[in-house]
Amino acid sequence: MIPERRTDLADKENIRDYAIGVFDSGMGGLTAVKELNRILPNENIIYFGDTARIPYGSRSRETILRYATEDVAFLKQHKIKMIIAACGTVSSVALDTPIVTDMPFTGVIAPAIEAACKATKNKRIGLIGTPATIKSGSYIHAIANTHPEVMVVPQACPLFVHLVENGYTDFNNPVTRLVAEEYLTPVKNENVDVLILGCTHYPVIADLIGDIMGKDVVLVSAGAEAAKFTKQHLDELELLSDRNEKGKNTYYVSDSTEMFEENAVNFLHENVHGDVFRSDF
């Protein structure tokens, strides 16, 4: 159950204009921001990318929880009405250890599972993610609880985040293609018809992933599905902004703002529009 902030009508009118908070271990969460900008153009978004401590996927569970708690605390310094953990690794940990209890919150796992299970026809779903996400078994356990008839084929892809963060994203990049083929071939051989991109970095190389998996395999972006869920949930709570003007994006990172702006193009498919600040929490 996602917690709902209790408000009266007057409070809701104020909270509607609050921002949506999004955080990730680095820049992958920008794929969720990109979808939010598309489907909720009037909303303000505050994004925090913990670029100084990426990747989370190779950290211990205790460290991931500490980092995530600090990320949430940073976002709560601002006026926000919902938080998205746009990080598959954090989302896998947050399933059994809630990190937000006082306002609407979502990770990327539940929305991605719902979309994938709706899309599969042969009940065979592939899953790629960071080592921490795959090791947690979070997707597999959640699917088993809600759709026990569905088989999940998991595959850890430890190098994908590094490749994407360092700009190795071109469709014809031989290094990225070689790594992707090694990771994806065993999954493809299991005859899956849906592949969950369980890390928000992965949609940046979705064209390459799709090429290797084949045109009959549906790719489900965890970040994009979390954005769609956010729209639905805020609508149900009557907390969508009713402003007429376009919303504003504000970005915070824990490392270089210049590197962030340079690499963000790969995730947003456009230059960064909005202020970018460096923050040490």
Residue 80 · residue 46 · CB < 8 Å? yes
Is 87 assigned a catalytic role?
yes
The closest alpha carbon to 273, from 248, 239, 253, 255, belongs to 248
Q: Give the Cα separation of 41 and 272 in Å (integer).
A: 15
Is 117 assigned a catalytic role?
no
Q: Give the Cα separation of 26 and 52 in Å (integer).
A: 8
Choose the catalytic residue: 68, 87, 103, 197: 87
Q: Give the Cα separation of 124 and 190 in Å (integer).
A: 8
Type of residue at 164: V
Type of residue at 134: I
Residues 6+ apart with CB under 8 A from 125: 116, 117, 143, 150, 151, 152, 153, 192, 193, 194, 195, 196
Residue 214 · residue 192 · CB < 8 Å? no
Q: How many CA atoms lie within 13 A of 29 on its CB side?
A: 34
Cα separations (Å) of 147 from 23, 92, 139?
A: 29, 18, 11
Reading the block at residue 260, the tokens are: 């962030």
Choose the catalytic residue: 199, 239, 264, 272: 199
- As annotated, the active-site residues are 87, 199
